[in-house]
Structure 1
Amino acid sequence: MSVVSTTDLPRRDGVTMRLSDTLWRRPTLLLVLLLLPPVLWLGIIYLGSLFALLLQSFFSIDHFSGLINYEFTLRTYAELFTPANFDIIVRTVTMAACTTLASAVIAFPIAYYAARYAKGRWRAVFYLGIMMPLWSSYLVKIYAWKLILAKEGILTWALEGLHLNWLLDAYLSLPVVGGNSLSVSTTGTFIVFVYVWMPFMILPTQAALERVPASMLEASGDLGARPGQTFRHVLFPLALPGIVAGSIFTFSLTLGDYIIPQIIGTSRLFIGQAVYQHQGIAGNIPLAAAFAVVPIVIMGLYLYIARRMGAFDAL
């Protein structure tokens, strides 16, 4: 049997035909042409904007004239450690961590039920219930929660019907977490963050739990392990990459969000709000850029740890 070389094939007429033949003979060229547009977009638009942002953070602003001083300095980064600015960073990171932890605790039993017991039609209902909140408008969901958590909202009405309004008043009187109502409190911000980002925690956790063989859980029980021991030593370690993968979404999205704290919560700023105010209202672009670098650094460290824990295998 004779083998015909690709160089021996007859050339076809027409620009399109010749181009098709050239790309077929040179698959590397085809690969380069396919990858060139997304690589250029990533390199110029995304990485270029990040580099410009990083460059702005090394400048400073003249507080007397309000003009940017284009001289290399670390003075702007030093401003991040002033009590007011550092408090913003700590508040944002704490909220992101609490949101991630609460999302993991709530999402795990839901994901476990979906992975182990939901079959056929019920599995479809599960996915529909998880994905449906993502189909509605982001702002609509936030304003809906603002009405629910308001002093005249349905939650207060339900507690009044149960004669538990005193309990809500006692909770709202607590410092830091309380306020005039849940809609203008740190607790309200936390509740909405958990609700909005919960699906991003459930789905990776459910995918990781589906990979856990049922035989391993059965073997653990056969060897005399109690349910708590099986959970600690078998189920949780195997599901941990999925939980960490979900935490990447919940943590990063909470870290950079500025709309939820703007609508629901107190007047205390988060990083996203600080970036918005310094860039748009105060005109202090270097400080806004320095604030924007903080989540990038935090998420860089977080992604490195998540990668070491095998979280990307569960995405």
Structure 2
Amino acid sequence: MSVVAENPILARRTSTFGRLSDYFWLNPKLFLLMLLAPPLPWLGIIYLGSLFALLLQSFFSIDEFSGLINYEFTLDTYRQLLIPANFDIILRTVIMAALVTLASALIAFPIAYYAARYARGKWKALFYLAVMLPLWSSYLVKVYAWKLILAKEGILNWGFAKLHLTWLLDAWLALPVVGGNSLSISYTGTFIVFVYVWMPFMILPIQAALERVPVNLIEASADLGGNPGQTFRHVLFPLALPGIIAGSIFTFSLTLGDYIIPQIIGSSRLFIGQAVYAQQGTAGNIPLAAAFTVVPIVIMGFYLWMAKKRGAFDAL
């Protein structure tokens, strides 16, 4: 008897679906191509096509007299990004995104470390529930809830008053850049809400990276005489760095493009997302709105290139 007849796995099936299944099993590349066929047109035509159209719009300009789009290739729109008012918007957004990313990493690391090293059983399930629960509620509901919390009549001001620390809050709000009439209309309030909303996107990649750090490496560092600070600097932090960078990709990019939080909580000074909305919706200057949109794309492209070199995608 032949090997095919003796082995039911290698035996050819007579049904149409069976033969088709055998054919795809023997040709995995073709099967992969069929799986990718539906999403590839969406990605290539709709998503990348819209990005290309957006990039193309940024090389046009607006006629100052008629307000119509001049469909001639020019770099004047990009030169407008360098005027002080527009450059301040870009700089303000990048600084806020960097500060939010740094603060999120500092807060998320000890939480993720506890979950990776000490949480077991129901406590680990509770950790995941606590991290993911804010993501289940509406984005706008969370932002407006924070507006009420940070308002002058909110619970945060009430807490400062009960602790007799209102003078401290007033002193902070009196500062020229970070302050304002209340936390709900200040950069401090914008910063707090950004950190709260994007925090889960920082905790989970760090926790995943820390779980892959072998415990015996930390024990070996202690056996060789390393104190906790040295173990953190030379063992734990370098191995967790890809997870930190992976989390920063989310927090940095989401802060760069968000316009709802600065619109609801913050001062009247614009961020990039608000500038895009204002130029396209109110002013009707689509080329300038497109040029503003290209800025975070370029920044994130460079950031992703650096993150790939650091091995951050291994922790995603």
Q: Where on the TM-score scale, by shorter chain, does this alignment land: which range?
A: over 0.9
Distance in 1 separating the partners of 2:14 and 2:291: 58
Q: Which residue of 2 aligns with 1:2?
A: 2
Q: Which residue of 2 aligns with 1:25?
A: 23
Q: Which residue of 2 aligns with 1:229?
A: 230
Q: Deviations over 1:48-95 (max 9, x none)?
A: 000000000000001211000000000000000000000000000000
Distance 1:201 1:9, change over 3 A: closer
Distance in 2 separating the partners of 1:242 and 1:20: 43
Q: Deviations over 1:228-270 (max 9, x none)?
A: 1111111111100000000000000000000000000000000
Q: Which residue of 1 aligns with 2:155?
A: 154
Give the AA of the match of 2:71. Y
Shift of 1:34: 2.1
Distance in 2 separating the partners of 1:276 and 1:178: 25
Q: Does 1:127 align with 2:150?
A: no
Say what the alpha-carbon RMSD is for the aligned residues: 1.7
Q: Which residue of 2 aligns with 1:70?
A: 71
Q: Which residue of 1 aligns with 2:308?
A: 307
Shift of 1:222: 1.1
Distance in 2 separating the partners of 1:166 and 1:31: 64
Q: Which residue of 2 aligns with 1:49?
A: 50
TM-score (norm 1): 0.94
Question: 1:156-171 counterparts in 2 under 5 A?
Answer: 156-171=157-172
Distance in 1 separating the partners of 2:13 and 2:260: 62
Give the AA of the match of 1:167. L
Q: Deviations over 1:83-108 (max 9, x none)?
A: 00000000000000000000000000
Give the AA of the match of 1:304. W
Aligned length: 308
Give the AA of the match of 2:217. M
SS at 1:272 equivalent: helix
Shift of 1:10: 8.5
Question: 1:272-283 counterparts in 2 under 5 A?
Answer: 272-283=273-284
Q: Deviations over 1:9-51 (max 9, x none)?
A: 6876xxxx4x874575364544333211100000011000000
Q: Which residue of 1 aligns with 2:213?
A: 212
Are 1:182 and 1:188, in contact at CA under 8 Å, matched by a contact in 2?
Answer: yes
SS at 2:94 equivalent: helix
Are 1:23 and 1:30, in contact at CA under 8 Å, matched by a contact in 2?
Answer: no
SS at 1:64 equivalent: coil
Q: Does 1:139 align with 2:140?
A: yes
Q: Does 1:79 align with 2:80?
A: yes
TM-score (norm 2): 0.94
Are 2:202 and 2:250, in contact at CA under 8 Å, matched by a contact in 1?
Answer: yes
Give the AA of the match of 2:187. T
Are 1:241 and 1:309, in contact at CA under 8 Å, matched by a contact in 2?
Answer: yes
Distance in 2 separating the partners of 1:287 and 1:20: 57
Are 1:189 and 1:260, in contact at CA under 8 Å, matched by a contact in 2?
Answer: yes
Distance in 1 separating the partners of 2:303 and 2:13: 56
Distance in 1 separating the partners of 2:104 and 2:231: 22
Q: What stretches of structure 2 of length at least 5 have no aligned partner?
A: 6-10
Distance in 2 separating the partners of 1:53 and 1:11: 53
Distance in 2 separating the partners of 1:29 and 1:127: 38
SS at 2:191 equivalent: helix
Distance in 2 separating the partners of 1:84 and 1:197: 28
Distance 1:302 1:244, change over 3 A: same
Distance 1:68 1:4, change over 3 A: same
Distance 1:167 1:33, change over 3 A: same
Distance in 2 separating the partners of 1:32 and 1:24: 16
Distance in 1 separating the partners of 2:272 and 2:97: 11
Shift of 1:2: 2.8
Distance 1:116 1:22, change over 3 A: closer
Distance in 2 separating the partners of 1:86 and 1:142: 27
Give the AA of the match of 2:142. K
Distance in 1 separating the partners of 2:178 and 2:277: 24
Distance in 2 separating the partners of 1:214 and 1:288: 50
Are 1:23 and 1:29, in contact at CA under 8 Å, matched by a contact in 2?
Answer: no
Q: Percent identity?
A: 77
Are 1:208 and 1:238, in contact at CA under 8 Å, matched by a contact in 2?
Answer: yes
Q: What stretches of structure 1 of length at least 5 have no aligned partner?
A: none
